[in-house]
Amino acid sequence: MSAPRDLVGDLIHAVGHRDAPPTETYEETLIVARGAWQRALRARRRRQWLTLAAAVTIVVAVGLAVMLYAISTRAPALLARAVVAHGEVEVLVLDSRVWQPLRVGTEIPAGTRLHTGADGGLALQLGNGTSVRVNRDSELALDASDVLRLDRGAMYVDTGANASSFAIRIDTPIGSVRDLGTIFEVRARDDEMRVRVREGRVRLTPSGARTQAESGAGEEIELYRNGDVRRRPLPAHDAQWRWAEALAVVPDIEGRHLLEFLGWVARQTGRRLRFAEPETEARARAVVLHGKAAHLAPLDALELVLSTTDLEYVLPSDEVIIVRQRQE
């Protein structure tokens, strides 16, 4: 059996000896080959980057579409909760044309409109703890967590005894009111806005004007569409605050000291708290309350709470509450 032929060797033998190419030709060929290889490599890298960029674009587009869909279908943010409702109180939620009765405990989202009838009254608690009370024959809207719009009627705002940096703005047809940590009332009509400050300060800005006005505790300020401004004193214990006192929400008293509750009553009624003797104040600091106070006006709630103790209160004037040992 013959050995297999060396085809490569036969081919080399047939071609014969060839001279090596000149060095210059070799280098030129190498440069051309290297350039072609580099261009091909760059082209491949461009294709890879384009592919990666296209993939990233698709991922971003899908994520954005999902986010926009979530935003469009998400329920409006809850701004407030109804805590007291008297008489006729109605609510008109966003994208609805039908007014519905408002019940205590209802959570109120942004964009909601509220209306109180001739015998109506409403108390809301905002998410930051601010108390908002609405008088009869009023209409308002909750535009945002810090912006309410009062179209007509009266609104009472209490940002709390220890107001934080959170500020609330009340818009009316005549102008806007921004609190500076306070208790105040706003009344709105077509041609005027009236602000009463019970505690702290507020800043008023007329619609379409650059000028501002401030008002402090114990003052009423009226702002008219024609730009007129009028001021007059109004003490914190004035009878014109009574409507808002009737809508006050009695705090949870379980486990709290009597002195804390007395302070709440004094603040809600605009009166100064006094004790008949030092021993009575010491007693108020020591007494721990139990149970739950019913929804009553502050002075009625005070009478109910004190009936469970050996203390009582008297009102020598509209300005002061005096707590003393119960008289036989």
The tokens describing 119, both together, are: 């015998």
Q: Please determine whether the domains at 78-240 and 250-325 fall in the same fold group of CATH.
A: no
pLDDT class for 132, splitting at 50, 70, 90?
A: very high
Number of other residues whose CB lies within 10 A of the CB of residue 17: 5
For the chain, give every domain's residue range: 10-74, 78-240, 250-325
Positive or negative, the Cα torsion across 275, 278, 282, 285? Answer: positive
The whole-number pLDDT of residue 27 equals 60
Q: What is the pTM of this model?
A: 0.74
* Cβ proximity of 214 and 204 under 8 Å: yes
HSE of 155 in the Cβ direction (CA atoms, 13 Å)? 29
Give me 245's structure tokens: 């006192």
What is the distance between the alpha carbons of residues 300 and 302, in angstroms, rounded to a whole number?
A: 5
Measure the CA–CA gap between 84 and 133, rounded to whole angstroms: 9
Q: What is the pLDDT of residues 24-35, one digit of tens each?
A: 665 666 565 666
Q: Under DSSP, is residue 45 helix (H, G, I), strand (E, B) or coil?
A: helix
pLDDT-based confidence at residue 71 (cuts at 50, 70, 90): very low
For the record, the structure tokens of 286 come out as 């020591």
Pick the closest to residue 142 from 66, 190, 79, 95 (CA basis): 79
Mean pLDDT score of the chain: 84
CATH architecture for residues 78-240: Sandwich (2.60)
CATH of region 250-325, choose from 3.55.50.10, 1.10.10.410, 3.40.50.300, 3.40.640.10? 3.55.50.10
Contact assessment for residue 206 and residue 227, using Cβ atoms and an 8 Å cutoff: yes
Lowest mean pLDDT among 61-75, 144-158, 246-260: 61-75
Say what percent of the chain tops pLDDT 70: 74
Compute the C-alpha angle 292/298/302, nearest 5°: 65
Average pLDDT rounded to a whole number, residues 277-291: 94
Write down the residue that tokens 């707590």 correspond to.
323
Average pLDDT rounded to a whole number, residues 145-165: 83
Kindly indicate the confidence band of residue 59, based on its pLDDT and cuts at 50, 70 and 90: low
CA distance linking residue 276 with residue 281, whole number of Å: 8
